[in-house]
Amino acid sequence: MKILIATTNKGKLREFKSLLSQINIETLSLDNMKEKIEVEEDGKTFLENAIKKAKEYASFYNIPVIAEDAGLEVEALNNYPGVYSARFYDIDFGGKEEIVTNKDEANIKKLLRLLEGKNNRKARFVSTVVFYSQKDFGLWTEGYCYGEIAKEPRGNKGFGYDPIFIPEGYNKTMAEISPEEKNRISHRGKAVRKLMEKLKKVL
């Protein structure tokens, strides 16, 4: 069975392929597809965005799809960046941040700036994963990873906000732990494992 992983994020794709290698399916990425489409993530929740991506890609490519929307919620910032996590640097909340090297670094710089002087640095990663077949059949799961925001970036093993997120029970950031350990504790790892259990029952 072939399933399309609907992401262009190479870090996410590596994690999905590693997690899904435990079940007998062939995973394709958007890079494998000759024709390209853009799906705008304009939903108000992670679930809305993930469902929209899964349905539109499944319909266009006529193949079952796994799509995800994920992000970071910071308690002291009213759960921002949330669904805006990938483009936090460019939204009006807290002022925009200039891209000097890349978007990840701009997002981190803005987040740390907004948390200056705040004692509450509690945060959580959220992952909502949707499986959708063009036969109008779908499943979804959610995973969380709780922790706090570091004072400065540390590590180079992750992507996104990993260099400033310290998971509960750790003194290292997500970007300082191994990919295997990250998959074990991460929001994405938890959501994908729940999805695999559901898929095993229905496929």
Q: Which residue has the tokens 């959580």?
A: 124
Average model confidence (pLDDT) across the chain:
93
Owner of token pair 């998971």: 167
Q: Give the whole-angstrom CA distance, residue 90 versus residue 164.
A: 19
Q: H or E stretch including 185?
A: helix 179-185
Alpha-carbon distances, residue 47 vs 28, 53, 60, 68 (angstroms)? 22, 10, 20, 8
Q: Using pLDDT thresholds of 50, 70 and 90, give the confidence band for residue 48.
A: very high
In the chain, what is the greatest distance between 2 CA atoms, to the nearest angstrom? 52
Catalytic (active site) residue 104: no
The DSSP H or E segment spanning 41 is none
Sketch out the chain's domains with CATH numbers: 2-202 (3.90.950.10)
Q: What is the mean pLDDT of residues 103-131?
A: 97
Are 180 and 173 in contact, with CB atoms under 8 Å apart? no
Q: How confident is the model at residue 196 (pLDDT cuts 50, 70, 90)?
A: confident
Q: Within its chain, how far is the Cα of 199 from the centroid?
A: 20
Identify the band that residue 146 occupies on the pLDDT scale cut at 50, 70 and 90.
very high
pLDDT at 21: 80
Return the beta strands (E) in the chain as ranges.
Answer: 2-5, 26-29, 65-74, 122-133, 137-149, 165-167
One of 69, 90, 92, 104 is an active-site residue; which one?
69
User: What phi-psi label fits residue 169: left (phi over 0), alpha (psi between -120 and 50 degrees) or beta?
Assistant: left
Helical segments of 29-100, H only: 46-61
Residue 174 pLDDT more than 90? Answer: yes
pLDDT tens column, 8-43: 888 888 888 888 887 778 889 898 899 989 899 899
135: pLDDT strictly greater than 80: no
pTM here is 0.91
Q: Is the pLDDT of residue 66 over 90?
A: yes
